[in-house]
Amino acid sequence: MEVTSALKIKNICVFGGSSPGKENEFLKSANHLGRVLAERKIHLVYRGGNLGLMGSVSITAFLGGSQVLGITPKALAKVDIIGKTIGEELQVSTMSDQMNAMFNHVDAFIALPGGLGTLEEIFHISSWAQLHIHHKPIGLLNVNVFYDNLLSFLDQVVEQKFLTSSA
């Protein structure tokens, strides 16, 4: 008897830094994630551009044969803050439209290390899960214990009864 997964992930949204970060391991992990997505024929949805960890994962996935969709607010695309988007680009009006479009195109989410934008995306999509707006898997790629302090903080939030442990 073959066991099949209840959820087949075909499209995944990857959040991560538009900087490569300080540790070389961050970039290695982004490239590895891109290769794994391509090997498993999983399509990548991301916030667009070719810089930092997001650029690395998108380039590697695209070169490996994955379909790649960068969803970018028009204002950011115009001023070229994020670099050239790899693969297909969907321009939207606002950052909120960007998050909604990424959400609507994927089956799951994973976060590489990153800054405020990445944290905003993690908390945004996690709060939607807490509110039962979705039941899509959310993962943190905890490269070099990058997310350990965040996870400790969330444990404290649970301990102080501002969040349930199930959330």
pLDDT of 68 over the 80 cut:
yes
CA 62, CA 66: separation in Å to the nearest integer? 5
Q: Structure pTM?
A: 0.90
For tokens 């590895």, name the residue: 32
Q: What is the structure's pLDDT at 108?
A: 97
Does position 93 have pLDDT exceeding 90, yes or no?
yes
Residue 2's pLDDT is what? 44
Say whether pLDDT at 85 is over 90. no
pLDDT tens digits, one per residue of 12-66: 999 999 999 999 999 999 999 999 999 999 999 999 989 999 999 999 999 999 9
3-class DSSP state of 9: coil
List domains and CATH numbers for the chain: 11-159 (3.40.50.450)
